[in-house]
């Protein structure tokens, strides 16, 4: 946030200037924007309350009779607000955001982090999908149980991730973030598998 108000020039530390009430340029850190500390475990109900409250203050509709510069800030602030809410309300995108802010490279991962037990699952799934493509309708019977297994794995990862979130909250140890990162990679792999079984189901 800038040091002095763009409109009246007095020192500002809040979203709106205390003297002239003009909206200031927004903070770009998602947690800072909501007035929160960087955290993995987050009260989503509280976040939603903050989101609605800030929307009532910042939406461009409320600035249509203000100077052009303030309209720009309202547009910018609302975009950050919506981006931040969308990112932080979902645990997976929130975790990715925290990792990025903590300096982790979160670029797309290959298959190298896939646990060995999954490789066999993937092999079986590929077989079933191949048979299905060749017109063997019996292979479909294998898809539903496979999907259920994947869903169970995803739920297990989600539970483990919640534990990692809490562990990081307790001590801010970087090693806990490594755990989160590994969990995110596995989770992504599994959601891809679920999507593939669904596609095979839909395409016939």
Partner 1 sequence: MFQIEFDSPDSVVGIDLGTTNSLIACMKLTKPEVIPGEDGNRMVPSIVSLPPEGAPIVGNAARAELIDHPARTVYSVKRLMGRGVADVQEELKLFPFHIAEGSESVIRLVLGEKTLTPPEVSALILRQLKANAEAALGMPVTKAVITVPAYFNDAQRQATRDAGRIAGLDVLRLVNEPTAAALAYGLDKRKQGVIAVYDLGGGTFDISILRLHDGIFEVLATNGDTHLGGDDIDNRLLKIALEDVASEWGEDVSHYGEAVQTLRAAVIRAKEALSFALSATVDFTWHGKAYRREITRELFEGLIRDIVDRTLGPCRDCMKDADVTPEQIDEVVLVGGSTRIPMVRSAVEVLFRARPHTELNPDEVVALGAAVQAGILAGTVENQLLLDVTPLSLGIEIYGGVVSKIIHRNSTIPASAGETFTTGIDGQTNVLIHVVQGERELAKDCRSLARFDLKGIAPMPAGMARIEVRFLIDANGILHVTARDGRTGLEQSVEVKPTYGLTDEQVEAMIEASIDHAEEDYQAAQLAGARIDADAIMTATAKAQKNSAWLSLTDEERQAVTDAANRLQLAYHHEDHQIIRAQIDRLNEVTHSLAERMMNTAVNSALKGTHV
Contact set with partner 1 (CB under 8 A): 52, 55-56, 59-62, 64-65, 75-76, 78-80, 82-83, 85-86
Choice between 61 and 204, CB closer to partner 1: 61
Choice between 78 and 185, CB closer to partner 1: 78
Asked if 146 and 121 touch (Cβ cutoff 8 Å), the reply is yes
Q: How far is the CB of 86 from partner 1 (least distance, A)?
A: 6
Choice between 61 and 117, CB closer to partner 1: 61
Q: How far is the CB of 71 from partner 1 (least distance, A)?
A: 10
Q: How far is the CB of 170 from partner 1 (least distance, A)?
A: 32
Choice between 65 and 112, CB closer to partner 1: 65
- Residue 22 DSSP symbol: P
10 Å Cβ neighbour count for 25?
A: 14
Asked if 138 and 189 touch (Cβ cutoff 8 Å), the reply is no
As a whole number of angstroms, the distance between CA 11 and CA 133 comes to 67
Q: How far is the CB of 65 from partner 1 (least distance, A)?
A: 6
Q: Tell me the C-alpha to C-alpha distance, in Å, between residue 186 and each of 52, 100, 153, 157, 197.
A: 34, 18, 9, 8, 17
As a whole number of angstroms, the distance between CA 80 and CA 83 comes to 5
């Amino acid at each position: 946030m800038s040091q002095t108000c763009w409109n009246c020039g007095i020192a500002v530390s809040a979203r709106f200037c205390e003297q002239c009430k003009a909206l200031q340029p927004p903070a770009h850190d998602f947690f800072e924007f909501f007035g929160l500390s960087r955290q993995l475990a987050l009260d989503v109900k509280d976040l939603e309350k903050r989101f609605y409250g800030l929307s009532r203050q910042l939406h461009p509709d409320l600035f249509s009779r203000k100077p052009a510069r303030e309209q720009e800030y309202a547009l910018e602030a609302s975009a950050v607000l919506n981006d931040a809410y969308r990112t932080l309300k979902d645990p997976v995108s929130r975790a990715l955001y925290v990792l990025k802010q903590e300096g982790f490279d979160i670029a797309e991962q290959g298959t190298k982090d896939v646990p060995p037990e999954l490789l066999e699952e993937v092999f079986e799934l590929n077989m079933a999908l191949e048979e299905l493509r060749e017109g063997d309708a019996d292979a479909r019977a294998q898809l539903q149980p496979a999907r259920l297994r994947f869903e169970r794995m995803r739920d297990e990862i989600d539970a483990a991730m919640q534990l990692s979130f809490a562990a990081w909250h307790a001590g801010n140890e970087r090693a806990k973030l490594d755990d989160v990162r590994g969990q995110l990679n596995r989770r992504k792999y599994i959601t891809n598998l679920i999507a593939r079984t669904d596609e095979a189901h839909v395409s016939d």
